[in-house]
Amino acid sequence: MNRLLIIGPPGAGKGTQAVKIAENLSIPAISTGDIFRKNIKEETELGKEAKSYIDSGNLVPDSVTNKMVRSRLSEDDAANGFLLDGYPRNTAQVHELDSILSDLSQEIDRVLLLVADNDELVQRLLNRAAEQGRSDDNEEVIRHRLKVYEKETEPLLAIYRERGLVKEVNGLGEIDEVTQRILEALK
């Protein structure tokens, strides 16, 4: 059980939990959002391409994102497992991930779906806005990101449900409590 996806709406705690779970399992946590933010900070070509999409709460085009994930999953540290956070985010990305993993002779073992209600999600992201000032954490963009999740990302869950891979985990409560629930779901 070491090739994992974590999926959930913005603010569900994906990034927070991905780091803890990956550490527990000794696999790398790979966050597409973090890779984009690092590139934006370093003003790389990839960062310049991604910035306007991220700031407006839209998905970065698949042509950019897919290439980036293919390259990251081909690195040595991902050969024995990984926890992918924030990818796939639409059905086209599911098919691309299938192709990437098939080229690497790998398969996904489990898809963790982290859930929380919308009021809690907005509140968490507004709290983060106050603490960190992330450019896409203002109320208007947060609400748009939630809509993008419902329209683009939720439908892809049907594919993984059909494959019997999805484990739903309640994302409400203390961070450590949620980590324990996830570890339980991976047993």
| 143 annotated binding-site participant | no
| 164 annotated binding-site participant | no
Does the annotation mark 89 as catalytic?
Answer: yes
Give me the residues that bind ligand B4P (CB under 6 A), please.
10-16, 31-33, 36, 53-54, 57-60, 65, 86-87, 89, 93, 124-125, 128, 136, 145, 173, 175, 178
Q: Which one of the listed residues 89, 110, 124, 181 is annotated catalytic? A: 89
Report whether 6 contacts 14 (CB < 8 A): yes
Q: What is the DSSP string of 24-53?
A: HHT--EEEHHHHHHHHHHTT-HHHHHHHHH
Does the annotation mark 181 as catalytic?
Answer: no
Residues whose CB falls within 8 Å of the CB of residue 78, separated by 6 or more in sequence, listed in order: 27, 28, 30, 72
Q: Which of 83, 72, 69, 36 is nearest to 179 (CA)?
A: 83
Q: Residue 21 or 125: which CB sits closer to ligand B4P?
A: 125
Residue number of the CB atom closest to ligand B4P: 33
| 88 annotated binding-site participant | yes
Q: Which residues are annotated as a binding site for AMP?
A: 32, 37, 58-60, 86-89, 93, 134, 145
